[in-house]
């Protein structure tokens, strides 16, 4: 059996209700976890792209691709090489912020090329986009300040032009 690795599957689907449920249902029925899923419309409003990140071996990937292509609303799918694709996600995180630590927090936001979206006397809402490594990095740096709440999007990806 081959090694379990991270796979990015980019699926072009008809923009209809229930399509995401059908696609994610394939993973559920087979007992696989989706690490990340993101859906959004493309340059064609009737078409959406679903980006799914999963761990599995090469046989799992081949099997899923074959089953996904059988779904009536799936138009096309591509497997994107993780290390030769642009992969991004968005993080919104609210942390405790005081007059004493505000400058240190701003320095962290700056290092991670983030943005302060809201500032109160007691909190700071920070917005950061980037690859998974950047998101994990800023979360590690912010943990000691006290994370109040956070929301993350799923990862989205496009392969490099040479891979098309």
* Per-residue pLDDT reduced to its tens digit, 38-53: 999 999 999 999 999 9
Residues of the chain with CATH 3.30.70.260: 5-80
For the whole model, what pTM was predicted? 0.82
Right CATH for 5-80 from 3.40.50.720, 3.90.950.10, 3.30.70.260, 3.40.50.1580: 3.30.70.260
Q: Which of 104, 91, 95 is nearest to 135 (CA)?
A: 91
Distance of CA 57 to the CA centre of its chain: 20
- C-alpha–C-alpha distance, residues 24 and 37, integer Å: 9
Residues of the chain with CATH 3.30.70.1150: 86-159
What are 88's two structure tokens?
């991004």
**In whole numbers, what is the pLDDT of the chain averaged over residues?**
92
Strand bridging mode 5-14 / 74-80 = antiparallel
Whether residue 163 has pLDDT greater than 60? no
What are 138's two structure tokens?
């800023």
- C-alpha–C-alpha distance, residues 54 and 23, integer Å: 13
* CATH architecture of residue range(s) 86-159: 2-Layer Sandwich (3.30)
């Amino acid at each position: 059996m081959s090694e379990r690795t991270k796979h990015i599957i980019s699926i072009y689907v008809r923009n209809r209700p229930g399509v995401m449920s059908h696609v994610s249902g394939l993973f559920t029925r087979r007992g696989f976890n989706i690490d990340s899923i993101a859906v959004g419309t493309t340059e064609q409003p009737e078409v959406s792209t679903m980006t799914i990140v999963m761990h599995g071996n090469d046989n799992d990937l081949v099997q899923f691709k074959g089953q996904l292509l059988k779904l009536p609303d799936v138009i096309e799918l591509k497997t994107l090489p993780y290390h030769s694709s642009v992969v991004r996600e968005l993080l919104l995180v609210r942390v405790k912020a005081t007059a004493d630590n505000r400058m240190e927090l701003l320095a962290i936001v700056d290092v991670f090329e983030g943005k302060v979206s809201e500032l109160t006397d007691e909190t700071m809402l920070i917005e950061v986009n980037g690859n998974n490594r950047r998101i994990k990095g800023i979360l590690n740096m912010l943990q000691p300040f006290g994370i109040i709440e956070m929301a993350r999007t799923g990862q989205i990806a496009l392969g490099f032009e040479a891979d098309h």
